[in-house]
Amino acid sequence: MSVNKQLVLDSRPAEKVAPAHFRLVEAPMPKPGPGEILVRNHFLSLDPYMRSRLSDAKSYAKPQEIGAVMGGGTVGEVVESNNPRFKTGDFVVGMGGWQQYFVTDGAGFNVVDAKAIPLQAYLGVVGLPGVTAWYGLNKIIAPKPGETVVVSAASGAVGSVVGQLAKIAGAKVVGIAGGPEKCAYVRDELGFDACVDHKSPRFAEEMKAALPNGLDGLFENVGGEPFAQCLRRLNDFARLAICGLIASYEGAPTILPDMRIFLVRRIKIEGFIVADHLPLWPLALRELASQVASGRLRYRETVRQGLESAPQALVDLLQGGNFGKMLVKLV
Amino acid sequence: MSVNKQLVLDSRPAEKVAPAHFRLVEAPMPKPGPGEILVRNHFLSLDPYMRSRLSDAKSYAKPQEIGAVMGGGTVGEVVESNNPRFKTGDFVVGMGGWQQYFVTDGAGFNVVDAKAIPLQAYLGVVGLPGVTAWYGLNKIIAPKPGETVVVSAASGAVGSVVGQLAKIAGAKVVGIAGGPEKCAYVRDELGFDACVDHKSPRFAEEMKAALPNGLDGLFENVGGEPFAQCLRRLNDFARLAICGLIASYEGAPTILPDMRIFLVRRIKIEGFIVADHLPLWPLALRELASQVASGRLRYRETVRQGLESAPQALVDLLQGGNFGKMLVKLV
């Protein structure tokens, strides 16, 4: 146990990211100094924002350094502690990165209760994706009962929570997802009113059929053609929360073809990043944990095994090859 | 005095509006029935929204009917009254249309005080354009002291009020206007910190120089190239109030070329029409009238003479040929 496997960024992708952009290294096992803890990662979180960090173009996320351990959310177990905030056996969530072990002074890490809900849920429905869904839905869209809310990437870690919270709020909810299996899950297991398959050759007609009364709120994770179809179905005073544009991260930009829609429909579009709203996290996490514990908020995971699988897992996530929250299990 | 001259819409413009799209008719002088008043128009208001009404494409404004008197804001004098709300000699503001006289039951018309401020100000700074400026600035941009606000069509009826209110709120204000004369007026008479001439061959560089710290608020009246330049200078959390896109009404649509700006900068864009916010009008009008009376809010007018001049005045307004509020004086 004297070796700590890590994945570092080896080079920046020009367009599409591939496993070859990462390199596995074996570092000596780190030792916690005074006030520090040693953590063994159990799960890595794979999230779409990571793609932005691989580029050094200006973005909200600061670039991942070449040669440094790839950053990312983790949940792990404290195996040695020189810090009174943590004891051996505690589980902590934070940005532990793509490695088996790491040492930290504990800043930015929080102890979580692994008995109330499954450990990895703190990386998903009761973590960054859950809070992202909670913020965009409640603080930007703010749906009224009877309004129609559309969410893209509806089976994903964020989209699945958006739709379920919107249903709880009394809205009619229409998802957009890729393929009949994901759509069936969104409708039948998550309880959305409808789900439209963006891979269908009849996508435009099916969107029209699913939205006979237009849409009042859009939670956008994807961009591209699904977004273009939603623009055609906006009601007056629609609110659009822009959370992600995964279709544009490695492809053509998503455009808004005519700004007159703002006047004709009096719409509001707001982009957000949940890290800008840290004061709201405790409230959001409490509400999400309570909905999970009561069984009202359901979720699904795609779990890959072993640190070495992380680069391909990220590639697959960006191509829509996951089903629910994408995780890598290390232990 | 048995004839009432009126201008009716004769045909819809395919692209650019021209005087030939209107027709002068002579109708018999109308007589007020029970509960009605006869009003003689003193001033017609010319406003950019009128262009939308000439088209039958879907818009926020319902189309102007062919063969009907052209609609529009007016201020006029009650010359005969069968309605206890109004007495002969009162001045009333409302939608009296392009005609010398009209009869109404008074619904939608308000008596104004022609002694406190000039009569035609109720069509401008203390009317629709003023309230439009007030709403977009205060309810969407909400500038904080020290922030930078940009307003296009800065010498116009709306833009001039936006910039002066933003200065009163403690913001740094940069205008965009067409030509050195308008820019000098915006800087020297209205007190903006800077004004950039969008007709200058060095427009892009001059925008950059005028915005060394970027922009936090944009009040957009124009669209097109000035808007594209503003998009390049947005600060994080910038708020964009979309009030008008006059460059696109008779030309190419204004596009948003890459939605990723919403994520990179976490911006908010909101389109609005002041008619949607009638409950706020009394507050806005009180504040505007008080600023005008105290001399803190200045304005300029372009006044054309005679009903027959209205069609050309509208054409000129849409081409930027006015300087401040465009009016037609009938009396």
pLDDT for B51-65, tens place per residue?
989 988 767 778 999
- B253–A259 C-beta distance less than 8 A: yes
Look at A141-145, A249-253, A307-311 and tell me which has the smallest mean pLDDT. A249-253
Contact in structure between B49 and B132 (CB atoms under 8 Å): no
Give contacts of A226 with chain B, Cβ < 8 Å: none
Name the phi and psi angles at A44, rounded to 5: -105, 145
In this prediction the pTM is: 0.88
Mean pLDDT of A16-35: 96
- A264–B268 C-beta distance less than 8 A: no
Whole-angstrom Cα distance, residue B261 to residue B5? 52
Whole-angstrom Cα distance, residue B236 to residue A130? 24
Q: What is the pLDDT of residue A116?
A: 81
CA distances from A42 to A96, A98, A121, A265 (A): 10, 11, 12, 48
Whether A257 and chain B come into contact, CB under 8 Å, resolves to yes
Nearest beta carbon to residue B263 from set A227, A267, A273: A273
Closest CA to B9 of B19, B101, B73, B102: B19
Residue for token pair 């509006």:
B17
Q: Nearest residue of A to residue B249 by CA position? A: A260
Name the phi and psi angles at A145, rounded to 5: -55, 135
> Measured in whole angstroms, how far is the alpha carbon of residue B127 from the centre of its chain?
9
DSSP A110-125: EEE-TTTS-GGGGGTT
Nearest beta carbon to residue A264 from set B60, B227, B264: B60
pLDDT digits (tens, 9 = 90+) for B200-256: 999 999 999 999 999 999 999 999 999 999 999 999 999 999 999 988 887 899 999
pLDDT digits (tens, 9 = 90+) for B151-193: 999 999 999 999 999 999 999 999 999 999 999 999 999 999 9
- In terms of DSSP bridges, do strands A110-112 and A101-104 run parallel, antiparallel, or are they unpaired? unpaired
CA distances from B33 to A113, A123, B1 (A): 78, 73, 18
Whole-angstrom Cα distance, residue A25 to residue A308? 10
How wide is the angle at C-alpha B227 spanned by C-alphas B246 and B158, nearest 5°?
A: 50
Q: What is the pLDDT of residue A8?
A: 98
Tally the C-alpha atoms within 13 A of residue B90's C-alpha that lie toward its C-beta: 20
Q: What is the pLDDT of residue A1?
A: 56
CA distances from A67 to A11, A22, A23, A311 (A): 8, 9, 9, 15
Nearest beta carbon to residue A266 from set B223, B260, B272: B272
Give contacts of B276 with chain A, Cβ < 8 Å: 266
Predicted ipTM of the assembly: 0.85
Min Cα distance B182 → chain A (Å) is: 26
Q: What is the pLDDT of residue A280?
A: 95
Contact in structure between B206 and B226 (CB atoms under 8 Å): no
Whether A228 and chain B come into contact, CB under 8 Å, resolves to no
Whole-angstrom Cα distance, residue A68 to residue A77? 22
Give contacts of A48 with chain B, Cβ < 8 Å: none
Look at A243-252, B105-114, B147-156, B255-264 and tell me which has the smallest mean pLDDT. A243-252
| pLDDT interval class at A133 (50, 70, 90) | very high
In this structure, is the dihedral angle defined by the CA atoms of residues B25, B31, B37 and B38, taken in order, positive or negative?
Answer: positive
Whole-angstrom Cα distance, residue B306 to residue B41? 11
Mean pLDDT of chain B: 95
Check pLDDT > 90 for residue B273.
yes
Whole-angstrom Cα distance, residue A124 to residue B44? 60
Whole-angstrom Cα distance, residue A277 to residue A138? 13
In three-state secondary structure terms, B160 is: helix
Mean pLDDT of B41-49: 95
Give contacts of A269 with chain B, Cβ < 8 Å: 262, 268-270
pLDDT digits (tens, 9 = 90+) for B7-19: 999 999 988 999 9
pLDDT digits (tens, 9 = 90+) for A86-122: 999 999 999 999 999 999 999 999 999 988 889 999 9
- A276–B260 C-beta distance less than 8 A: no
Nearest beta carbon to residue A257 from set B242, B255, B268: B255
Whole-angstrom Cα distance, residue A278 to residue B321? 50
B84-122 burial by CB neighbour count: b if 16+ within 10 A, else e? ebbeeebbbbbebbbbbbbbbebeebeebebeebbbbbb
Min Cα distance B245 → chain A (Å) is: 7
Q: Report which secondary-structure segment, H or E, holds B162.
A: helix B159-168
How wide is the angle at C-alpha B313 spanned by C-alphas B6 and B302, nearest 5°?
A: 120
Whole-angstrom Cα distance, residue A26 to residue A100? 10
Q: Nearest residue of A to residue B53 by CA position? A: A264
- A242–B263 C-beta distance less than 8 A: yes
Closest CA to A245 of A273, A265, A267, A268: A273
Beta bridge partners of B92: B76, B111
* Residue B161 CB burial class (10 angstroms; 0-12, 13-18, ≥19): buried
pLDDT digits (tens, 9 = 90+) for A51-61: 989 988 767 77
- A271–B266 C-beta distance less than 8 A: yes
Whole-angstrom Cα distance, residue B276 to residue A120? 47
Whether A283 and chain B come into contact, CB under 8 Å, resolves to no
Check pLDDT > 90 for residue B324.
no
Whole-angstrom Cα distance, residue A244 to residue B328? 50
Q: What is the pLDDT of residue A247?
A: 87
Gap between the terminal Cα atoms of chain A: 14
Contact in structure between A167 and A148 (CB atoms under 8 Å): no
Q: What is the pLDDT of residue B315?
A: 96
Name the phi and psi angles at A69, rounded to 5: -60, 130
How wide is the angle at C-alpha B251 spanned by C-alphas B249 and B254, nearest 5°?
A: 80
